[in-house]
Structure 1
Amino acid sequence: MKISHMQLFIHSLTNPKKLGPYRILSIGKVMQYAFLMIALVTAFSFGQFINGGTDEIFSYSEIEQYAQDVQWIVYPIAIIFLFVLNTSIYFVKVSLFALAGQFFIKPMKRRGEYRQVWRTAVFASTWGTFITMFGNLFPISPTVATLISIFITMLFIIIALTKYPIEK
Structure 2
Amino acid sequence: MVKHSQLFIDSLLHPKKLAAYRLLSIGKTIQYVFLLIALVTIFSFIQFLTGVSTISYSIEGLTEYIEDIQWLLYPFAILFLILTTTVLLFGRISIYAFVGVVILKVTNRRGEYRHMWRTAALANTWSTLLSIIFTTLQFTGTIPTLIGIVITIILLFIASTKYPKIPKK
**Deviations for 1:109-158, whole angstroms, at most 9, x for unmatched residues?**
11000011010000000000011122123363421110000010001011
C-alpha root-mean-square deviation of aligned residues, in Å?
A: 1.3
The 2-side partners of 1:37 and 1:139 are apart by 20
The aligned counterpart of 1:120 is: 119
The aligned counterpart of 1:138 is: 137
Indicate the SS of the match to 2:106: coil
**Deviations for 1:61-96, whole angstroms, at most 9, x for unmatched residues?**
331111111111100000000000000000110011
The farther-off stretch of 131-140 and 6-15 is 131-140
Please show how residues 14-93 of structure 1 align to structure 2 within 5 Å.
14-53=13-52, 55-56=54-55, 59-61=57-59, 62-93=61-92
Structure-2-length-normalised TM-score: 0.94
Indicate the SS of the match to 2:81: helix
The 1-side partners of 2:157 and 2:90 are apart by 19
Change (3 A) 1:141 1:78: closer
The 1-side partners of 2:52 and 2:87 are apart by 21
Seq. identity, %: 46
Segments of structure 2 that go 5 or more residues without pairing to the other structure are none
Change (3 A) 1:100 1:79: same
Moved over 6 A (4+): none
Structure-1-length-normalised TM-score: 0.94
